[in-house]
């Protein structure tokens, strides 16, 4: 494969990585937003403080992923955004609600804070549900018929539970004492619904897509791919196991979040294998949807400049604000 021929594959990989980092990084803070209504007022301040330095910057990865789709795969961008216009709009409304609520609760009087907390919860939930619906429609190739919306609805219900488990795992790492104990209980409560949804979706995906079914259940791919569900199952069982021990309250408080990141990474690898070489399954391959090689080379220069800056800022911010979160102080 020549360099010109490999360019669309490179950009598909970059777009996939950007979306994976977004789902993981924004997933935990969406999960914290969904959990917000279960906490006491003082605990809510600590929860918000735990994501405060990161949540807005996490969305940079979404902008990068959508930007690559727009400029590198304009044909796919038209198909995807046309099919997902309404859920994209709902997601943006949810993210806007989060931003407004986050900023306004800083200056709100005590009697107004519950309103902004409720809006932060509503925005987080709306964004998570919309993302689940979009993922379901995208994986199914935007098919027509009663079973396709049902499949998308199942993912729309399951993804928020995955975010809740991710958010609870984040709070286990970033908080202490009573709030950390609550986060452990929240994680335990979210584990079974999340696992149940993951199992049902994994069973339904090959039923909903003949292309995925053929890729999953043909030899020797079946043997190689079996490692993904096995490793996912081990990670989830390990997660449930460590939640039942006291080690998550000490130096290994980061372990539940690391296991959840591993689960998302395995899911991403399975999805990437299922889709490639399509960027819109059964409709457009990466080469059919891509811009011209000359345009991609120019775009690549921009990505080479932009991506290290985003990575550097992300690493820097997480390093500076590492450690346990403390109560908010707006003085």
Q: Which of 177, 188, 186 is nearest to 327 (CA)?
A: 177
181, β-bridge pairs: none
Residue 56 confidence (pLDDT) = 75
For 265, residues 6+ apart whose C-beta sits below 8 A from its C-beta are 20
For 181, residues 6+ apart whose C-beta sits below 8 A from its C-beta are 249
End-to-end CA distance of the chain: 59
Contact 170, 50 (CB under 8 A): yes
User: Phi first, then psi: what are they for 319, rounded to 5°?
Assistant: -70, -45
For 231, residues 6+ apart whose C-beta sits below 8 A from its C-beta are 262, 266
Could you read off the pLDDT tens digit of each residue along the chain, which spans 331 residues?
788 889 999 999 999 999 999 999 888 989 999 999 888 888 888 898 888 888 777 888 888 888 888 889 998 888 888 889 899 999 999 999 988 888 888 777 777 888 888 999 999 999 999 999 999 888 888 878 778 888 889 889 999 999 999 999 999 999 988 899 999 999 999 999 999 888 888 877 777 777 777 777 777 767 777 888 899 999 999 999 999 998 988 888 999 999 999 999 998 888 888 888 888 888 889 998 889 899 999 989 988 888 898 888 888 888 888 888 776 655 5
Question: DSSP class of residue 291?
Answer: P
Token reading at 322: 């590492």
Token reading at 222: 């079946």
Cα–Cα distance measured from residue 296 to residue 294, given in angstroms and rounded to the nearest whole number: 5
Length, in residues, of the chain = 331
Place of tokens 């959840």: 260
Cα–Cα distance measured from residue 65 to residue 193, given in angstroms and rounded to the nearest whole number: 29
Cα–Cα distance measured from residue 139 to residue 132, given in angstroms and rounded to the nearest whole number: 11
- Helices 60-72 and 293-320 pack at an angle, to 10 degrees, of 180
- Whether the CA torsion 292, 294, 296, 302 is positive or negative: it is negative
Q: Is 27 exposed, middle or buried (0-12, 13-18, 19+ CB in 10 A)?
A: buried
SS3 of residue 118 by DSSP: helix
* CA 52 to each of CA 24, 34, 171, 224: distance values in angstroms, whole numbers, following the listed order: 16, 15, 13, 41
> Do β-strands 284-285 and 278-280 pair in parallel, antiparallel, or remain unpaired?
antiparallel
Judge: domain 3-320, CATH 1.20.5.
no
pLDDT digits (tens, 9 = 90+) for 133-169: 999 888 888 878 778 888 889 889 999 999 999 999 9
Q: Which helix (H) or strand (E) holds 109?
A: none
Residue 31 confidence (pLDDT) = 93
Residue 330 confidence (pLDDT) = 52
Question: DSSP class of residue 40?
Answer: -
Place of tokens 């919306």: 149
pTM above the 0.95 mark? no
Cα–Cα distance measured from residue 234 to residue 224, given in angstroms and rounded to the nearest whole number: 17
Residue 166 confidence (pLDDT) = 94
Q: How many Å separate Cα 155 from the centre of its chain?
A: 12
Question: DSSP class of residue 248?
Answer: G
Question: DSSP class of residue 279?
Answer: E
Number of H helices, E strands in the chain: 15, 2
Q: Which of 178, 144, 154 is nearest to 46 (CA)?
A: 178
Q: Which helix (H) or strand (E) holds 278?
A: strand 278-280
- Helices 60-72 and 3-35 pack at an angle, to 10 degrees, of 150
Residue 189 confidence (pLDDT) = 93
């Amino acid at each position: 494969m020549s360099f010109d021929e490999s360019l669309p594959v490179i950009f598909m990989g970059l777009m996939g990585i950007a979306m994976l980092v977004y789902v993981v990084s924004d997933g935990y803070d969406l999960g914290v937003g969904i959990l917000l209504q279960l906490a006491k007022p003082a605990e809510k301040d600590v929860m918000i403080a735990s994501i405060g330095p990161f949540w807005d910057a996490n969305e940079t990865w979404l902008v990068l992923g959508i930007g690559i789709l727009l400029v590198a795969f304009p044909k796919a961008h038209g198909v995807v955004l046309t099919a997902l216009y309404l859920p994209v709009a709902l997601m943006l409304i949810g993210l806007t609600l989060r931003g407004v609520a986050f900023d306004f609760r800083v200056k709100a009087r005590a009697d107004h804070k519950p309103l902004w907390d409720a809006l932060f919860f509503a925005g987080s939930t709306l964004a998570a549900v919309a993302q689940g619906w979009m993922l379901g429609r995208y994986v199914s190739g935007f098919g027509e018929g009663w079973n396709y919306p049902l499949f998308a609805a199942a993912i729309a219900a399951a993804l928020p539970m995955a975010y809740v488990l991710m958010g609870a795992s984040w709070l286990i790492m970033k908080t202490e004492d009573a709030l950390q104990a609550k986060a452990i209980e929240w994680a335990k409560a979210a584990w079974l619904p999340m696992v149940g949804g993951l199992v049902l979706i994994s069973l339904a995906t090959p039923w909903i897509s003949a292309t995925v079914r053929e890729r999953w259940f043909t030899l020797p791919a079946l043997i190689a791919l079996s490692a993904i569900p096995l490793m996912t199952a081990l990670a989830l069982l390990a997660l449930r196991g460590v939640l039942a021990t006291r080690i998550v309250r000490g130096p290994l408080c980061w372990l539940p979040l690391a296991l959840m990141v591993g689960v998302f990474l395995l899911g991403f690898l399975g999805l990437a294998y299922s889709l490639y070489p399509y960027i819109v399954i059964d409709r457009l391959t990466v080469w059919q949807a891509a811009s011209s090689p000359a345009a991609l080379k120019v775009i690549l220069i921009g990505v080479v400049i932009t991506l290290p800056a985003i990575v550097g800022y992300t690493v820097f911010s997480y390093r500076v604000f590492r450690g346990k979160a403390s109560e908010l102080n707006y003085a």
